[in-house]
């Protein structure tokens, strides 16, 4: 029995402008997650090129790509999102501590500001296990923004949340987008959240069928 190769994305070519709030939609298996993973440098295209800003990442080694993820990209994952042994503040500070270029006070100040912005000031010493799903996603948003990245990628950020909390999260992301001018790319197959998107890319069977 040989391997069957199923291409997740086939001949996609598109660019995202700085400060965009873009939604990638499509049914399950359409390639949304793969597209986000490739943009976020955690998966790699078998052919073609990916540029983040003016940097071509296709030819970079692991150390350089990790550095790109740290400095230019923020992630908000669907479920696996926080370090379980660190509290809210420590989780938000984590990428800044990896950067090792900010003082302790600056790191703390930036983290606290974002925690306040996502409305979790009173949970600052709570561990992820002590937070609700919505609160965890807020922490993830704060962590994604703390390094002031060029792009924030969110793979179905509302998938495991109730509709009210999901809407709160998207409102928050939108607010951050407007305030920080950070590019947001989020995937969803929930048509109710599309009202937040400035731009929509629709995928089907690995191809862009709509780009508006």
Partner 1 sequence: MELIFKIAWRNILRHKGKSLVIGVILFLGAYLMTIGNGVIAGMDKGIGENIINSFMGHMVILADKERSDNVLFKIYGKSVAPIYNFVQIKKVLQDDPDIKYFLPVGKNAALILNEESDMGRAFLLGVDFKAYRQMFPDNFDIIEGRFPKNSERGVLIPAFARKECYDFMNIWLLPEGGKVIDSNLTPEAKENKKDLILKDQEVFMGARDDNATADVRVGIKGIIKYKALNAFWGHFMILDIESYREDLGYFSAYEKTESVPKESQALLNLDNSNLENMFSESAVVVADKKREEIKSLKPAVRVNIAPLNLDAGAYNLVFIKLWNGANLDKKAALLNKKLKEKNLDVRVVTWKKGSGVIGSLAVIIKGILFGFVVFLFLVAVIIIVNTLSMAALERVPEIGMMRAVGAQKSFVRNMFVAETSVLAGIFGGLGIILGAVTVFVLPAFHITTQNDMLQLLYGGDVLNPILNTGDIFLAIGQLALVTAASVIYPVHIAKNITPLDAVVRD
Please say which residue, 82 or 169, places its beta carbon nearer to partner 1. 82
Indicate whether 110 belongs to the interface with partner 1 (CB under 8 A): no
CB atoms within 10 A of CB 74: 27
Q: In degrees, to the nearest 5, what angle opens at C-alpha 144 toward C-alphas 143 and 147? A: 85
- Answer whether 150's CB lies under 8 Å from 72's CB: yes
Indicate whether 98 belongs to the interface with partner 1 (CB under 8 A): yes
Round to whole Å and give the CA distance between 118 and 146: 12
Cα 74 from chain centre: 5
Indicate whether 143 belongs to the interface with partner 1 (CB under 8 A): yes
Find the shortest distance in angstroms from Cβ 95 to partner 1.
5
Indicate whether 2 belongs to the interface with partner 1 (CB under 8 A): no
Per-residue tokens: 146: 């703390």
Burial of 155 (0-12, 13-18, 19+ CB in 10 A): buried
Selected from 26, 31, 95, 134, the binder of partner 1 by CB under 8 A is 95
Of the candidates 182, 100, 106, the residue with the CA atom closest to the CA atom of residue 141: 182
Find the shortest distance in angstroms from Cβ 195 to partner 1.
27
Selected from 19, 50, 58, 78, the binder of partner 1 by CB under 8 A is 78
Compute the radius of gyration of the chain from its Cα atoms.
17
Selected from 43, 167, 190, 205, the binder of partner 1 by CB under 8 A is 43
Indicate whether 55 belongs to the interface with partner 1 (CB under 8 A): no
Beta carbons within 8 Å of 13's beta carbon, 6+ residues apart: none
Indicate whether 4 belongs to the interface with partner 1 (CB under 8 A): no
Round to whole Å and give the CA distance between 62 and 148: 22
Of the candidates 40, 41, 8, 17, the residue with the CA atom closest to the CA atom of residue 199: 17
Please say which residue, 127 or 199, places its beta carbon nearer to partner 1. 127
Find the shortest distance in angstroms from Cβ 36 to partner 1.
9
Selected from 20, 29, 50, 71, the binder of partner 1 by CB under 8 A is 71
Find the shortest distance in angstroms from Cβ 153 to partner 1.
10
Indicate whether 67 belongs to the interface with partner 1 (CB under 8 A): yes
Find the shortest distance in angstroms from Cβ 79 to partner 1.
6
Residues that bind partner 1 (CB under 8 A): 33, 37, 40, 42-43, 62-63, 66-67, 69-71, 74-75, 77-86, 90, 94-95, 97-99, 143, 147, 155
């Amino acid at each position: 029995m040989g391997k069957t190769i199923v291409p997740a994305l086939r001949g996609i070519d598109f660019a995202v402008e700085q400060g965009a709030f873009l939604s990638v939609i499509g049914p399950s298996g359409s390639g949304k997650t793969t597209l986000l993973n490739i943009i976020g440098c955690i998966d790699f295209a078998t052919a073609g090129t990916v540029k983040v800003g003016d940097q071509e990442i296709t030819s970079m080694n692991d150390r350089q790509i990790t550095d790109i993820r740290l400095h230019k990209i923020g992630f908000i994952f669907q479920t696996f999102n926080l370090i379980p042994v660190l509290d809210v503040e420590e989780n938000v500070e984590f990428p800044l501590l990896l950067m090792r270029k900010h003082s302790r006070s600056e790191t703390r100040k930036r983290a606290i500001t974002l925690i306040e912005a996502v409305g979790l000031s009173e949970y600052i010493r709570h561990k992820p296990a002590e937070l609700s799903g919505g609160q965890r996603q807020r922490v993830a948003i704060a962590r994604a923004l703390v390094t002031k990245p060029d792009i924030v990628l969110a793979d179905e950020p509302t998938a495991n949340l109730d509709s009210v909390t999901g809407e709160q999260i998207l409102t928050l992301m939108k607010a951050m987008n407007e305030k920080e001018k950070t590019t947001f790319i989020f995937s969803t197959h929930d048509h109710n959240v599309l009202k937040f998107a400035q731009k929509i890319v629709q995928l089907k069977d690995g191809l862009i069928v709509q780009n508006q």
